[in-house]
Structure 1
Amino acid sequence: MDIQEYISSGILELYVYGSLSEPESREVTRMVRDYPEVKAEVEKIEAALQSLSAAAAPSDPKPLLAPSPVDGAGGKEVVKMAQSKTNWLSIFRMGSKLPFFNRSFCSI
């Protein structure tokens, strides 16, 4: 296989992302070791991935770390929900008394 064809196949990107199987990864590692062009291309892909990660990261993480309004912070009141008046445990126990109910799953 031609080196330029190998570089443009997309396998190097998958190698950098860690998406290759073990045998494929070993093959690419061998190619990186044996061919300086492949090594240079892997380094370019790694640098591009780092640049993309840095560009997508928030520049000021403080708003992401601020207390949530759901916690009651920020002057907002948390609304309480009404509790259910159905006693589901009693209904389950009554159901376990039925003859078609498999008692092996219920030991109440």
Structure 2
Amino acid sequence: MLISSHEHSSEISEKRNSKGIVQPASNGTSLSPFDLAFLAQRGYLSAQGISSYGALATDFHVGTVTAKDIVQAAVKANRLPESTLQDRDYLNALDSTVRSFNAH
């Protein structure tokens, strides 16, 4: 069953850049905290200084990278509006999501 409701459309669309590397497409919509955590973990924010995979887990655990740092990187990458930096609920959900990734 396909749900076409906007609130359930948090799929990550992708495109290839000029070098043929697959990147999430920026379609002007906001990313959910889960999607942003996934993108950060997979290295899509490395150009903005966010480490990926195990290094992200370590950096997050020791506090050298925070949820706010990840959101700032997403804002710089034009993936989120700057107002997200003030959204405590979003930051808390992102923090919880990244911590849950690190637990596995």
Q: TM-score, normalised by structure 2?
A: 0.31
Higher relative contact order (CA 8 A, sep 6+): 2
Higher helix share: 1
When Rg is computed on C-alpha atoms for both structures, the one with the higher figure is 1
Higher strand share: 2
